[in-house]
Amino acid sequence: MRPVKFVEVSNLRVTYLGRTRPSLEVEELAIDEGESVLVLGKSGSGKSTLVNVLNGVIPHMISARVEGEIRVFGKDPRKTPVHEMSHLVGTLLQDPEAQIFHHIVRDELAFAPENYCFPRVEILSRVNEASKIVGVTHLMERETSTLSGGELQRVVLGSVLTLKPKSLILDEPTSNIDPDGTAEILSLLRSFKEGGISMIIVEHKLERVLPYVDRVILVEDGRVTLNVTREELPKEMERLMRAGVEVPEVRRTVSKRNATGRAILKGKVKVSSGRKVLVDTEIEVREREIVALMGKNGAGKTTLLKAIMGILDNRYQVVAHLTMMDKEISKMPYYVRGRFISYLPQSFDVMFVKRTVEDEIKFSSDDPEQLIRLFSLDKVRKDDPLTLSFGQRRRVALASILGRRQRLALLDEPTSGQDWFHRRSLGEELQKMRENGVSFLVVTHDSRFVDRFCDRVMVMREGKIIYSGSPEQVFESRLVMPPVEYEGRK
């Protein structure tokens, strides 16, 4: 008898409601049980559509017309309830907040096995095992709303693992995680692979994920244009680069760093929650400077940005003395600070107030057409922002907050979930805007982006900025993991 494959697809067409053209067309695709496959491609190329068809999210939860033949371990996801598919395919979504149901981490991990009415002893055993695997045992009593993006990602992966699925689909599993956490997640991939778990991994960090997969698939404009083994991939690097995929390279020169200019933002910030001090630090950003704020998940980076913007809620006690261009702003409400400072949150979907991409950018921009071109949004300008891929939605949010040319922009993980083509485009645009007098404070784990486009790096640990220097100085100090190609430059 022929063995059951993990995935079998033929003549697949996926068309979202309201669109005439299919967003995904796959003539044939097969993945063996126990095989690990890396899916690459630009943001909006159809990667997430592919995985959402395989796990049944499309069409059960996201409406779309799905034509063709699909089998996952012999079952058709269109005809199999999602709760049954979850035993066959565990999915970690690109946006971890979309998978959180409970206020407390322990309850979140127990949510799935409780819904399947497992015995209490079995539930506790699965929760403890999953929490250890993903490294969140120290977070079990925390509120999920207080976790960083990386911590949330681990919790969600833990909740997926409590059902012990036969296979895993991981959509950008390291996008919100610091370098140490990324290394831990990659170690998990190795253990999953050695344990015979079938995997589909959607990831932009090719050089870090490649050792843990058997095959690589490239998706371009809704079609699978490359399907090769890991050993065959080196011959295809030129093709991947043309497709906007980040590939390892040696770069022996760096952009000129901007290390001069007077302070545009300067001051002290202390944030507490009850008796716990979350942030207690000094900060300075100079004119025409792109500053990266780096550090482990939970170090206080997002809290610091929100305190500068004045948008922390009443649960937190904020004591700050901040000046913006020598003007005291600490007592100003957030909507007044917004005249000087723009802010891109990590959870950016809450920003959208219009029904089309075009109207969203026009609403907050003096030059919407230039931003639509810059962020590659022309093809989706008439679409609802909330129907776009994660990477496309982030680009819409970026375009909308950069439209008024405030003197300082605070960007929280703007490169997360973005392919190298769009990360590079963003970096180049920040450098252009810097020449027009705009400064940037960018929270990121993306050391390659920092190396290419940032003037200075501030490293944060336990609520304090403990080091400030050029990217080269920070990489040499090993306080931050350097990009892969950095070693080849020395």
Task: Let me know: does 78 contact 63? Beta carbons within 8 Å.
Answer: no
Residue 59: is the preceding peptide bond cis (ω within 30°)? yes
Q: Which of 174, 482, 440 is nearest to 293 (CA)?
A: 440
Q: Is the pLDDT of residue 486 over 60?
A: no
Pick the CATH number of 5-243 from 3.40.50.620, 3.40.50.300, 3.10.105.10, 3.40.1160.10: 3.40.50.300
Neighbours of 145 (CB within 10 A): 11
Residues facing residue 266 across a β-bridge: 284, 323
The reported pLDDT for the residue numbered 210 is 87
| Helices marked H in 165-318 | 179-194, 206-209, 237-242, 301-309
User: How far apart are the C-alpha atoms of 193 and 34, rounded to whole Å?
Assistant: 7
| pLDDT value at 193 more than 60 | yes
Q: Determine the pLDDT at residue 456.
A: 95
Give the pairing type, strands 36-40 and 317-324. Answer: unpaired
Query: What confidence tens digit (pLDDT) does each residue in 446-455 have?
Result: 888 999 999 9
Given a contact cutoff of 8 angstroms between Cβ atoms, the answer to whether 260 and 287 are in contact is no
Contact 280, 463 (CB under 8 A): yes
Residue 4's alpha-carbon distances to 23, 83, 227, 380, 464, in angstroms, are 28, 21, 21, 39, 53
DSSP one-letter string for 394-413: HHHHHHHHSTT--SEEEEES
Q: What is the pLDDT of residues 80-117, one digit of tens each?
A: 998 889 889 999 887 788 888 899 999 999 999 999 99
SS (H, E, C) 116-167: CCCCHHHHHHHHHHHHHHHCCHHHCCCEHHHCCHHHHHHHHHHHHHCCCCCE
Question: Please, are residues 48 and 171 in contact by the beta-carbon 8 Å criterion?
Answer: yes
Mind listing the pLDDT tens digit for each residue in 442-484?
A: 999 888 899 999 999 999 999 999 999 999 999 988 888 777 6
CA distances from 133 to 90, 108, 420 (A): 15, 15, 30
> For residue range 10-49, what is the model confidence (pLDDT) as tens digits?
999 999 988 888 999 999 999 999 999 999 988 888 998 9
**Which CATH architecture does the domain made up of 263-486 adopt?**
3-Layer(aba) Sandwich (3.40)
> What percent of the chain has pLDDT above 70?
95
Per-residue H/E/C for 327-370: EECCCCCHHHHCCCEEEECCCHHHHCCCCCHHHHHHHCCCCHHH
Find, among 245, 249, 246, the residue nearest to 218 by Cα: 245
Contact criterion met (CB below 8 Å) for 467 and 477: yes
Angle between helices 149-161 and 105-115 (to 10 degrees): 30
56/367: higher pLDDT: 56
Q: Where are the alpha helices (DSSP H) in 223-277?
A: 237-242
Residue located via tokens 């949330």: 152
C-alpha to C-alpha distance for 135 and 185, rounded to whole angstroms: 10
User: How confident is the model over 285-335, as pLDDT tens digits?
Assistant: 999 999 999 998 889 999 999 999 999 988 899 999 999 988 999 999 999
Instruction: Using alpha carbons, select from 163, 57, 166, 56 the residue that is nearest to residue 117.
Output: 163
When pLDDT is averaged across residues 138-142 and rounded to a whole number, the result is 93
CB 127 within 8 A of CB 162: yes
373-414 pLDDT, tens digit per residue, is 878 899 899 999 888 877 788 788 888 887 777 899 999 988
Helix (H, G, I), strand (E, B) or coil at 463: coil
Q: Kindly indicate the confidence band of residue 488, based on its pLDDT and cuts at 50, 70 and 90.
A: very low
Q: Which part of the chain has CATH 3.40.50.300? A: 5-243, 263-486
Give the range with max mean pLDDT: 196-205, 347-356, 461-470: 461-470
Half-sphere exposure of 88 (CA within 13 A, CB side): 21
CA distance 185 to 459: 22
Q: Using 50, 70 and 90 to split pLDDT, how confident is the model at 485?
A: low
